[in-house]
Amino acid sequence: MRIAMISEHASPLSALGGVDAGGQNTHVAELSAALAAQGHEVRVYTRRDDATAAVVVPMKGFEVVHVPAGPPVPLAKDDLLPFMGEFAEWMAADWRTSWLPGVAHAHFWMSGLAAVTAARRCDVPVLQTYHALGTVKRRHQGDADTSPQHRVAYERELGRVVDRIVVQCQDEVSELLRMGLPRAGMALVPSGVNTELFRPDGPAEPRGASRRILTVGRLVERKGYEDLIRALPMVPGAELVVVGGPPEGPIEDHPYARKLLALARHCNVADRVRLAGAVPPAQMPRWYRSADVLAAAPWYEPFGLTPLEAMACGVPVVATAVGGLTDTVVDGVTGDLVTPRDPRALGAALRRLLNDDVRRVGYAAAAADRAAHSYSWRRVAARLAALYAQVTGRTLTEAETPREAVV
């Protein structure tokens, strides 16, 4: 099957760690590679942000297509809406003249606008994954939300016109129902994890004698790093290592990094807080394996890949009970869930787990098992391929139907 992935701002080729480069980039890249490995022909359409970039770039069995929409320079994703018409026009022309897909899968709401516009001209069914919803962002960020004014209205209308909404967790289902979208139009397929890269066995990053709490993500306020630092005095003898930051430049030059270090000094834990900065994706398993626990304390999280990566490496998780984390982390089995924005609850959960070796080892084994058996990209891709076939009315070939599609 020919599958067009539309990811207007999150290119599989982008370096992770920037403000707009994170989980969606990884999701699109890994999903496309897994579908290609199962015999599908996949193209990812993303906006050209570099005048020197080739139009088509091969990558892990699929192709990345740079769409000329707007100036060929990096732009914040919230500034891309005016160029989605141009994006759709170019993509529709490409589909009509050289590469007509059997199905289009849009990632993020602006990608959905472009995909629906192009698909109507080429009679291509469209599936939509939001990755994040404007209602949730507005609720948690308030006036700090920089989304275009009519984002929520666009998201609601997209949900009504696409052939299927691919939701990633139960929390998203509830949010979409509150927006007035019908449950019958949704299919729950979570994001996945690369279980060949993220696995319990393998080398670990060197560490000292202190128990290690690891947290991973972009350096933005909503990830809850300040709550973790405020919780650290309740976990004596443990170190907090923060992995994430801009892909270039010293971590100390980042404004939010400086704020975190100042808070650590204020809380008298500066000697136990380490900002490791950006780490290449291939090196991340070493960091996960070096940890006693992965802490994920976001205020909100549409899905959350880093807890799943830690689980696949056999690391228990203490996470806030928000978004997709309530699906991936089974409370009392693979980790512990706590109330968001509550440093005392976070500190108590971390202290209890780090002081209980039996519980921690049990969580670790269950976490690795859950990640491998429920969230491998091979399994997720097979489920999506079956959904694509259902929407298009075609039958997958035997080569396109791995065992996971029918389990």
In a domain, 198, yes or no: no
Q: Are residues 355 and 340 in the same domain?
A: yes
Statement: residue 140 has pLDDT above 50: yes
Q: Are residues 180 and 298 in the same domain?
A: no
Statement: residue 15 has pLDDT above 50: yes
Q: Are residues 356 and 242 in the same domain?
A: yes
Give percent of the chain with pLDDT exceeding 70. 95
pLDDT band at 245, cuts 50/70/90?
confident
Q: What is the pLDDT of residue 123?
A: 96
**What DSSP assignment string belongs to 171-237?**
HHHHHHHHTT--GGGEEE----B-TTTS-SSS------SSEEEEEES-S-GGG-HHHHHHHGGGSTT
Q: Are residues 233 and 132 in the same domain?
A: no
- Domain holding 295, by residue range, is 211-374
Statement: residue 181 has pLDDT above 50: yes
Element (H or E) spanning 126, and its range?
A: strand 126-129
pLDDT band at 23, cuts 50/70/90?
confident
Q: Are residues 309 and 399 in the same domain?
A: no
In a domain, 199, yes or no: no
Q: Are residues 215 and 179 in the same domain?
A: no
Q: Are residues 390 and 365 in the same domain?
A: no
Q: How many domains does the chain divide into?
A: 2
In a domain, 202, yes or no: no
pLDDT band at 144, cuts 50/70/90?
confident
Q: Are residues 279 and 342 in the same domain?
A: yes
Q: What is the pLDDT of residue 401?
A: 65
Q: What is the pLDDT of residue 154?
A: 97
- Which sign, positive or negative, has the C-alpha torsion 313, 317, 321, 326? positive
Q: CA-to-CA distance for 109 and 106, rounded, in angstroms?
A: 8
CB 378 within 8 A of CB 402: yes
Please give the mean pLDDT across all residues of the chain: 93
Tokens of 219: 């350096």
Q: CA-to-CA distance for 322 and 175, rounded, in angstroms?
A: 12
Tokens of 364: 């670790």
In a domain, 31, yes or no: yes
Q: Are residues 55 and 176 in the same domain?
A: yes
CATH code of the domain containing 76: 3.40.50.2000
> Dihedral angle at the C-alpha atoms of 340, 343, 348, 353, nearest 10 degrees?
70
* 173 contact partners, CB below 8 Å, separation of at least 6: 167, 183, 186, 188
- Collapsing DSSP to helix, strand or coil, 335 comes out as strand
In a domain, 197, yes or no: no
Q: Using N-to-C axis directions, what is the helix angle for 151-161 and 109-122, rounded to 10°? A: 40
N-term to C-term CA, the chain: 21
What are 85-113's pLDDT values in tens digits? Answer: 999 999 999 999 999 999 999 999 999 99
- Please report, for residues 3, 145, 192, 234, 364, the alpha-carbon distance to residue 384 in angstroms, rounded to integers and kept in the order given: 11, 31, 11, 43, 28
* 266 contact partners, CB below 8 Å, separation of at least 6: none
Q: Are residues 184 and 228 in the same domain?
A: no
User: Radius of gyration over alpha carbons of the chain, in Å?
Assistant: 21
Q: Are residues 89 and 16 in the same domain?
A: yes
